[in-house]
Structure 1
Amino acid sequence: MSGSGKSGEVIDITDMRHPVLSDAQKMALAGAAQATFDFSTNTFLETAKAQTGLSDFGAMDFVERLNIWCEAINEDAFLSPVGKAGLWTMILRYASDRLRVEDICKRHPEILDIEIDRPIIVAGPPRSGTTHLLGLLSADKRLRSLPWWEAIAPVPTDADAPTATDPNPRWTRADAGWQQFEALLPYMAYMHEFTADHISEDIELQALDFSSYLIEWMAHVPKWRDYYLSHDQTGTYAYLKKGLQVLTFLKGPNRWVIKCPQHMEQLPALRATFPDATYVITHRDPVGSIRSTLSMALYASRVLRTKSDPEEPKGYWIDRYKTLLERCVRDHHILPPEQTVDVYFHEWIKAPNPILTEIYAKADMPLDARTLATLHQYHADNDPGVKGRVVFNLERDFDIAAEDIRSQFQFYFDRFPVQKEVK
């Protein structure tokens, strides 16, 4: 592959179809292959109880969903040992953190009375600029946001108490985990910026209820996709709110900025849970978003899958985007216009200030010169193109042309004035 990831460099990953593994990747795969992973609901629940010393998971309706997670993962024939290790560790973390959330709510029932005041909620297709917009708005410290180090350990334990040598053990663990991941997939950081301080998607809180589209990104799980899309998600969105209440109790303020692309297909549940929110919906040429997603998936497959087959992500994610955007087209009308800002990618990259002005006006927050300067500084410090840019090549890597994908999304262009981006 060409490019070494230096600042501003254009990186062309030329071994997408036939990966040449690094020594670190070979060692990780060999090491994970020595372990066995029992993807069963009882194993996760009992291990979480032993790990935390707690036993109350709250409402147990999530068990049905966790069962489907486990079944779907067990049915994925091409999940690599590294993929299994990552999923197993993640699911155990969710079970343990759910126990801690329920425990703190029992000890402090006033948590459930905390108001989540007029949150700003960002939604949009994956790879459409939602991450950068979330980080930008999070630079305004009047708003509460969810950094990665806090998202993966929302309720601190005694072991997380600051020490003379480590003022924030949760941050230290998150940083170590990210560095390990980056060592395995070094070019992923150029596709999707990530650090311990990275502002996380609120999907991490929904996952405590064992729902969302999260595991679709980590394994080939059509069984879970079909279950998730056919079941009402209002309960899981209520658990998201519960998570925000717990985090607000631990550290305010109670005015949040959150985001998840999944919200685009769950607008009724989102609206029911956060009726006073400001909804910021990003839009982009689906080809621009999809080619990035396909390339990320194929690149990661060298360690997460036992094969690097471009047909696998291509066959899954183009159709998955259609469902996401069809549901947005279907349900967008339920969002009150006075609380909604539609952000178009081609307009945002040319002139963000008018869009920021509209977001702040609808959120009823003053946007003074000092705040605008803070946002501009974040934008300058976190320009995705400065670190390095990865080449996305649909024809070479996936045997498909941009128009072959775009032709399947005319319904979306008919509804929203999205500008064609990829030739």
Structure 2
Amino acid sequence: MSKPQDIVFDDLGNPKLTFLQKLALGGSKNAKVNLDKESILTSAKEATGLSDFGGDDFHEPLEVLINDYVSDDGLSGVGRQQMFKDLVRCASNHLIIQDRIKKTPELATTELKKPLSVSGLPRSGTTHLVNLLAADSRFQSLPLWVAQEPFHAPGKEKASGGLKFGARTLARFLKSGDSLSNDDPRYLRCSARWSGMQIMGPDLAAMHPMNPDHIHEELELMTFDFGCNQFEWTSMVPGYRDYYFKKDQTPHYEYLKTVLKLLQIERGDDRSWVLKCVQNPEQLLVLKSVFSDATAIITHRDPVAVIQSTATMIAYGHRILRLSVDPRLVLNYWTDRIEALLKACVRDRKVWGSKQSMDVMFHEFMAGDMQTVEKIYDLHELELTKKARQEMDDFIKAHPRGKYGRVRYHLEEHFGVRPEEIRERFDFYYKAFPVKIEV
């Protein structure tokens, strides 16, 4: 196997745009985007053929989000279009799920079997861990294409010829590895979105691949109720962030649980779920309340390394979503954000007792992922069978670290901040968890 290619950004703050990036930004510059609630909800109704949202509790968070987007004069035309598409997709899913709730009487008696829940800082190994665990066929999980669109709208179960041709042509051209035989329109749309992301951000796969088959996090399901911090990852939404902090997130976790039950019924599958969510560390009390019998695995990493990686990834995405890139602004936002998340994690960690939870240090997991898995299975009281080991070994061989290249991060060069300036803010976290200092 060849050595992973190093990816070094020398243009994070002043992007050197590709021809296609310039074309997309230029073509969308004067595009009219109706970022208002009525346009979004009407578009969702037209897309699904449904009209019953099941109440208007989601209107308030949606309005807060829209206000942030409209007030943000730094969004590019592509950014405005993307925010509109995302909100329409979320509202469409809300309609479809409400329709499923009405048509599924067995929902009231359906239970989830002792989920295995991975929680942790972004960029702390959660993606690799959940995909590794999900390789065990005794679990059911949430591939991205299902997370983004759990159910079909009534009468829209078949893909058009144009969708099949377009999605597969892009997948072949980009050699993305996406399935060329899955005819589900939800899969094809997810594949097309991933192709678009690769075209607009060629190095994104090295930081966080978003191919349809990779196991994603259930946070995506909460976006349909407009209640989670996922929206912070795609745009600058300080108003929504503050709104989120003030609100009890229990209703949104209950909504998540309902969607998982609906999926379980749809699949005719009562296997335990393996889940993953980077929001959970700041919602441990809510997680415990809603998923009381879960086994909680909480990953930890040097916050400076996490912030460096997170800020680099988001600043890279800003070259297409925003009119200009301000790396220091991104770094400051996410330093504050991760500090708030970790303070909540340290404060509430004890709500999950040692018989039901464990902490995983990133450096230990990277040094021996299967040793970590063995400890998790012991805690979860599940035998790590020969078959499960083989399934995980097959996954590791197919997904070597650095498969898409290795990003080389430079905190001082890219963001003008020394590691010590950030580290001193996280003394409370270093005292609570023995993470290895990386930067």
Counterpart of 2:174 in structure 1 is none
Whole-Å Cα distance in 2 between the matches of residues 209 and 170 of structure 1?
A: 19
Distance in 2 of aligned mates of 1:143 and 1:399: 44
User: What pairs with 1:157-306 in structure 2 (closer than 5 Å)?
Assistant: 157=153, 158-161=155-158, 167-251=183-267, 252-306=269-323
Cα displacement (A) at 1:111: 2.2
When residues 21 and 162 of structure 1 are mapped into structure 2, their CA distance, relative to the original with a 3 A threshold, is closer
Query: Which of 127, 140, 146 is equivalent to 1:131?
Result: 127
1:172-225 C-alpha deviation (Å, 9 max, x unpaired): 221111011101100011111221101111111111110101111111111110
Kept in 1, the 8 Å contact 2:138–2:271? The answer is: no
1:109 aligned onto 2:105 = yes
CA drift of 1:46 comes to: 2.1
Matches within 5 A, 1:3-402: 8-157=4-153, 158-161=155-158, 167-251=183-267, 252-402=269-419
Structure 1 unaligned regions, length at least 5: 1-5
Q: Secondary structure at the match of 2:140?
A: coil
How far does the alpha carbon of each residue in 1:354-378 deviate from its partner, in whole angstroms, 9 at most, with x for none?
A: 3211211222221112211221221
Deviation digits for residues 11-52 of structure 1 (CA, Å, limit 9, x no counterpart): 111111211111110111122224222222222222212222
Check conservation: 1:143, 1:253, Cα contact below 8 A.
Answer: no
What is the aligned counterpart of 2:421 among 394, 404, 407? 404
User: What stretches of structure 2 of length at least 5 have no aligned partner?
Assistant: 162-180
After TM superposition, give the deviation of residue 162 of structure 1 in Å: 7.3
Return the alpha-carbon distance in structure 2 between the equivalents of residues 351 and 47 of structure 1: 48
2-side partners of 1:405 and 1:246: how far apart? 43
- Establish whether residue 421 from structure 1 lines up as the match of residue 421 from structure 2: no
| Native 8 Å contact 1:112 1:242 kept in 2 | no
Q: How many residues align?
A: 417
C-alpha deviation, 1:77, in angstroms: 2.0
Contact 1:144 1:257 (8 Å CA) reproduced: yes
CA contact (8 A) 1:140 1:374 kept: yes
Paired with 1:384 and 1:75, the residues of 2 have a C-alpha distance of: 40
Contact 2:137 2:388 (C-alpha < 8 Å) held by counterparts: no
Give the drift of 1:301.
1.3
Aligned partners of 1:105 and 1:112 also within 8 Å: no
Once the two structures are overlaid, the 10-residue window that deviates more, 105-114 or 146-155, is 105-114
- Cα distance in 2 for partners of 1:182, 1:84 equals 19
- Is the CA contact (8 Å cut-off) linking 1:115 and 1:254 kept in structure 2? no
CA distance 1:123–1:166, shift in 2 (3 Å)? closer
Asked whether the equivalents of residues 124 and 299 of structure 2 are also in contact (C-alpha less than 8 Å), the reply is: yes
- Measured against aligned partners, the alpha-carbon deviations of 1:138-184 in whole angstroms (never above 9, x if no partner) come to 11111111111111211123333479976322212211110111011
What is the RMSD of the two structures over their aligned residues, measured on CA atoms? 1.6
- Cα distance between partner residues in 2 of 1:387 and 1:69: 33
Q: Assess if the C-alpha contact under 8 Å between 2:205 and 2:404 holds in 1.
A: no
Say if 1:187 and 1:163 are closer, same or farther in 2 by CA, change over 3 A. closer
Task: Give 1:119 shift.
Answer: 0.6
8 Å CA contact 2:136–2:388 kept in 1: the answer is yes
**1:353 CA displacement:** 2.7
Using the alignment, how far apart are the partners of 1:362 and 1:113 within structure 2?
28
TM-score (normalizing by structure 2): 0.92
Pairwise CA distance, 1:7: 6.2
State the 4+ residue runs in structure 1 displaced beyond 4 angstroms: 162-166
Q: Is the 8 A contact 2:138 2:272 kept in 1?
A: yes
* Pair 50,168 (structure 1): closer, same or farther in 2 beyond 3 Å: closer
Checking the alignment, whether the CA contact within 8 Å between 2:311 and 2:334 is kept in structure 1 is yes
Percent identical among aligned pairs is 39
Q: Distance in 2 between matches of 1:46 and 1:176?
A: 24
Q: Which moved more, 1:122-131 or 1:358-367?
A: 358-367
| 1:333-392 superposed Cα distances (whole Å, 9 cap, x missing partner) | 101211101100111111223321121122222111221122122123212223310111
CA–CA distance in structure 2, aligned partners of residues 76 and 416 of structure 1: 37
Q: 1:168 to 1:51 in 2, by over 3 A?
A: closer
User: CA separation in 2, counterparts of 1:136 and 1:209?
Assistant: 29
The one-letter amino acid of 1:127's match is R
Task: Compute the TM-score of the two structures, normalised by the length of structure 1.
Answer: 0.95
The CA distance in 1 between the partners of 2:182 and 2:259, in whole Å, is 26
